[in-house]
Amino acid sequence: MREIMRHAFLVAYEGSNYYGFVRQPGGVPTVESVLLGALKDCGIFTNLKESRYQIAARTDRGVGALAQVLAMNTLKTPEVEEINSRLPEDVVVLGVGVADKDFNPRRDVVAKHYKYVCEVPENFNVEIAKEAASMLVGKHDFRFFCAREKGKTTEGKILLARVDVGKHLTFDFVAPAFLRQQVRRMVQALLEVGIGVIDLEYFSDALNGKVTRSFRPAPPEGLFLANITYRRLLIPRDEKAVERFVSFLRKKGDLRAHAMIEVLSGLT
């Protein structure tokens, strides 16, 4: 009898055609439902609960990823090319690796790196936005920078928050974990600082719980999960799988697609 192996899958997706990553009632298209269908067709699992299936991130509708990680106990050794042959072009398994038997892709995360790209707003003051971004680093109560969920803390720790301007505006955030809609709401807050809707004092007050409104989320079309790191797991990327996804992104051709290509080019 074959020994049960636990595998971790590195997954990329563009996100525009899906109602988020996680399966939803009513049969609406989600990345997870597409992925699990392909994995089941390949004979990698038959019973999802028995496979101890787990994921790293619950991305929202329209959000993309280059580093979603899912793990499960598998009935056979997964083959990247076989899985991808059953997936649409906007979802791809970039690689598969053997994981520890107790590996949990959410619990064991060291850091997640999200990127957000958009056009540079008129009269955007990048220096003020950078100053505001620096305030986000460290431990804070982000109650006005997230979609609050009953029974869940709004406290968190940001390791890096950066704003860069060139042909377009780029925001980078790194943390062990993020609250629901936190990245998009931090982006919106920094945009409001940069265009002068709010000042640094108001931004600071929001971090210290002294305001009365939460920031709304920036549109999802600019956001993607760029990277994820673990202490005991490194999943090799399959060159053919990377090229398949890059080819799709080139055809897509929008701002986020170009940013995703840049990240992939730097990783391979």
- What residues are labeled active site? 60
Q: Which residues in 109-130 are b (16+ Cβ under 10 Å) and which e?
A: beebbbbbbbeeeeebeeebbb
User: Where are the strands (E) in 53-166, listed by range?
Assistant: 54-55, 64-74, 91-99, 109-118, 138-141, 155-158, 160-165
- Closest by CA position to 105, among listed 20, 38, 208, 32: 32
How far is Cα 142 from Cα 139, in angstroms, rounded to an integer?
A: 9
Give Cα separations from 231 to 100, 101, 136, 234 (angstroms). Answer: 12, 15, 25, 8
How far is Cα 215 from Cα 190, in angstroms, rounded to an integer?
A: 10
Phi, psi of 227 (to 5 degrees): -160, 160
Torsion of CA 222, 262, 78, 33, to 10 degrees: 10
Q: Which two tokens stand for residue 144?
A: 């006005």
Give Cα separations from 153 to 47, 127, 140, 143 (angstroms). Answer: 33, 31, 11, 9
Type of residue found at 259: A
What is the CB-side half-sphere exposure of residue 76 using CA atoms within 13 A?
13
